[in-house]
């Protein structure tokens, strides 16, 4: 894409973010001549996803479609579609932009997962647009106008735009060990909330075997059979994550062999490992409130053991990812 065309795409998108809006929208941008040549209605019927790892299929429509096209300044045309205000990014999962679109963007209300650095916090709306050549910018709405943010944007908003254009996202910043640790912490809370004798409280062994994680360790790491709960978690869970990295988990979801809430097989196949990692982790409850609840429910010694194991697993996930990237 020529620099002047890229600048025009950015400016058109900035004006859209600045304009009044009733809610989140997806935006496609195409040259007027190609848009006219491709003026047939976009087929919104879902299509069979490509095998995981294959090149993305360039199929117009798959989950959303432009519904309001109007010529814009210069030689570009906009296609704008409203998104579900309760979960706008989920409304775009599985969508593949028509091949004549030169850019695709999303405008949504500002939330923590849709900001890129501390200076973006406090804005009412944010937008991200990605062009076919992979260039990405973020636009932040201020009280009187909107401006393009400095630096390369990242996060789910940009990830979804990249996948809609068939582009790869950034690699996972952490390993699947973080997923297993956070899911286990949620399972501990669920068991603690339903413990039959709150006066006695949970033992650490009960916490260690909460949910399916201990069964996974027993199945995938049989040499730890009979190990004490601390050893089972400290050694077994990292081994489970090593055998089931993000790529394997995504393939299992795409093959309908594993279900994760809010994500179906088609959407998992449409993703790559980077956006899959970030989407799955963002869908989990934050660990801070979970730990606060556990501190009130568990015996102090049991809570200290849970906190120590969780912190060690959480830290190891980031350390392992950094080592893999080195």
**Are 94 and 202 in the same domain?**
no
**Are 226 and 134 in the same domain?**
no
Read off the pLDDT of residues 130-141 as tens digits, 9 standing for 90 and up.
Answer: 999 998 888 877
Choose the final residue of a domain: 122, 137, 164: 164
**Are 218 and 155 in the same domain?**
no
The contacts found for 316-325 with CB under 8 angstroms, 24 or more apart, are: 316/177, 316/238, 317/174, 317/175, 317/176, 317/177, 317/178, 317/181, 317/241, 318/173, 318/174, 318/178, 320/175, 320/177, 320/238, 321/172, 321/173, 321/174, 321/175, 324/175, 325/171
Residue 304 in domain:
yes
Give the pTM.
Answer: 0.82
Choose the final residue of a domain: 119, 134, 164: 164
Segments forming the whole domain that contains residue 313 = 177-325
Read off the pLDDT of residues 230-276 as tens digits, 9 standing for 90 and up.
Answer: 999 999 999 999 999 999 999 999 999 999 988 999 999 999 999 99
Compute how many other C-beta atoms are within 10 angstroms of the C-beta atom of residue 281: 17
**Are 30 and 136 in the same domain?**
yes
Range 111-136 average pLDDT: 69
**Are 52 and 141 in the same domain?**
yes
- DSSP-derived letter for residue 171 is P
Residue 122 in domain:
yes
Q: How many domains does the chain have?
A: 2
Residue 298 in domain:
yes
Residue 171 in domain:
no
**Are 261 and 310 in the same domain?**
yes
For the cut 80, the answer to whether the pLDDT of residue 305 exceeds it is yes
- What's the pLDDT band for 148 if we cut at 50, 70, 90? low
**Are 245 and 295 in the same domain?**
yes
């Amino acid at each position: 894409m020529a620099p002047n065309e890229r600048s025009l795409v950015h400016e058109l998108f900035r004006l859209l973010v600045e304009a009044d809006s009733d809610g989140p929208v997806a935006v496609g941008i195409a040259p007027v001549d190609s848009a006219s040549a491709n003026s047939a209605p976009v087929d919104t019927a879902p299509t069979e996803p490509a095998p995981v790892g294959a090149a993305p299929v360039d199929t117009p429509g798959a989950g959303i479609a432009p519904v309001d096209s109007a010529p814009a300044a210069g030689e570009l045309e906009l296609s704008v579609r409203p998104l579900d205000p309760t979960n706008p990014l989920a409304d775009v999962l599985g969508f593949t932009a028509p091949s004549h679109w030169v850019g695709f963007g999303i405008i949504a209300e500002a939330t923590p997962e849709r900001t890129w650095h501390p200076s973006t916090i406090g804005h009412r709306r944010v937008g991200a647009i990605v062009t076919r050549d992979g260039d990405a910018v973020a636009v932040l709405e201020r009280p009187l106008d909107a401006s393009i943010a400095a630096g390369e944007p990242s996060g789910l908003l940009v990830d979804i735009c990249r996948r809609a254009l068939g582009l790869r996202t950034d690699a996972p910043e952490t390993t699947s060990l973080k997923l297993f640790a956070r899911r286990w912490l949620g399972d501990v809370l669920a068991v603690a909330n339903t413990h039959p004798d709150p006066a006695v409280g949970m033992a650490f062994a009960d916490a260690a075997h909460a949910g399916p994680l201990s069964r996974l360790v027993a199945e995938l790491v049989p040499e730890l059979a009979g190990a004490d709960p601390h050893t089972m978690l400290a050694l077994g869970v990292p081994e489970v994550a090593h055998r089931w990295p993000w790529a394997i988990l995504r393939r299992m979801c795409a093959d309908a062999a594993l279900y994760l809430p809010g994500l179906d097989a088609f959407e998992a196949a449409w993703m790559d490992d980077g956006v899959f990692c970030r989407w799955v982790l963002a869908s989990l409850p934050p660990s801070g409130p979970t730990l606060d609840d556990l501190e009130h429910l568990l015996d102090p010694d049991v809570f200290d053991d849970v906190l120590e194991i969780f912190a060690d697993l959480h830290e190891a996930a980031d350390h392992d990812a950094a080592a893999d990237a080195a």
